[in-house]
Structure 1
Amino acid sequence: MENLQTSSVINMKIGICDTTFARYDMASAAINEIKQHVGNNKIIRRTVPGVKDLPVACKKLIEEEGCEVVMALGMPGPEVMDKTCAHEASTGLIQAQLMTNTHILEVFVHEDEGVDEKDLKFLADNRAREHAQNLVKMFFKKGALEKEAGMGMREGHPDKGPL
């Protein structure tokens, strides 16, 4: 990623919310990535048990901690019930965004996305970092995402490319 250190936004509060259910510490990867590009901001991390706990935790980061953007990181399991819970959590995250008028970047990695545990670990780390880069682009490098519009970008997987 190009140098994104240039910024008109300083001293921003960034919320990071993850779960104990996840099998990889995606929050640490996201925090590391953000600090590499915009280290002068306050990052507030909260950890909850599972993905269904993310919406209220993210909303509290916004309303009670003053976060201006939040990342919600989770790793739903492979079962049908896990996918249902992930869908419900995603719906809750959308509702929390609308209620607070604040972006919450959902970063979910389903356990059955990886071909094996090594691949799953790589995917979780890569997706967390690429979404953290998106956060940096959204708030610290105005216009950067517009240059990537229609380019078939994929977080965690190889990009598909434009048509």
Structure 2
Amino acid sequence: MKIGIADTTFARVNMGAVAIDELKRHATLRIERYTVPGMKDLPVACKKLIEERGCDLVMALGMPGGKDKDKLCAHEASQGLQLAMLMTNKHIIEVFVHEDEAKDDRELAWLLEQRTREHAVNAVKLLLYPRELERDAGTGQRQGFPDAGPARQ
């Protein structure tokens, strides 16, 4: 099995290196990395990782800025990732951390790393251990910040 890592130079933490470190902690997989300048470049990078480099699943890692223009670019990138999934019939795990999710640089760095690591574990589960995801269904899992937990009736 092979996992692709598509990341950007725009992010303020090396999310690709974090993802690769976490993937290696949980499974023995081949890993292909493709780094692009910005988020809107991620869809084609993911598609190339799947179609040209034979990846079974790809993680798309990006950090939109906090301005309205950045949020629009993140939305466009997200739509491109959805299209790439449909075109290739492969999962692309979107791991975006918006700069304005954190109150300061320290929290931002922590969140970028934490969310990336938790989604790397999700990628391994999706690819190799899908029953583990079934067991977590409906439990309010969140990546980065604390889990919400199930809704009480």
Return the TM-score normalized by structure 1. Answer: 0.91
Following TM superposition, by how much is the alpha carbon of 1:66 offset from its aligned partner in structure 2, in angstroms? 0.6
Following TM superposition, by how much is the alpha carbon of 1:136 offset from its aligned partner in structure 2, in angstroms? 1.0
Of residues 84, 97, 102 in structure 2, which corresponds to 1:114? 102
Q: How does 1:138-153 map to 2 (within 5 A)?
A: 138-153=126-141
Of residues 19, 24, 27 in structure 1, which corresponds to 2:8? 19
Q: Give the aligned CA root-mean-square deviation in angstroms.
A: 0.6
Q: How does 1:33-72 map to 2 (within 5 A)?
A: 33-39=22-28, 41-72=29-60
Where structure 1 has 5 or more consecutive residues not aligned to the other structure, the ranges are 1-11
**Which letter maps to 2:20?**
I
Q: How does 1:75-86 map to 2 (within 5 A)?
A: 75-86=63-74
> Which residue of 1 is the match for residue 75 of structure 2?
87
Distance in 1 separating the partners of 2:125 and 2:58? 14
Matched length: 151
Calculate percent identity across the aligned residue pairs. 62
Following TM superposition, by how much is the alpha carbon of 1:26 offset from its aligned partner in structure 2, in angstroms? 1.1
Return the TM-score normalized by structure 2. Answer: 0.97
Following TM superposition, by how much is the alpha carbon of 1:142 offset from its aligned partner in structure 2, in angstroms? 2.9
Following TM superposition, by how much is the alpha carbon of 1:139 offset from its aligned partner in structure 2, in angstroms? 1.5
Following TM superposition, by how much is the alpha carbon of 1:27 offset from its aligned partner in structure 2, in angstroms? 1.1
Structure holding more helix per residue: 2
Distance in 1 separating the partners of 2:22 and 2:34? 17
Where structure 2 has 5 or more consecutive residues not aligned to the other structure, the ranges are none
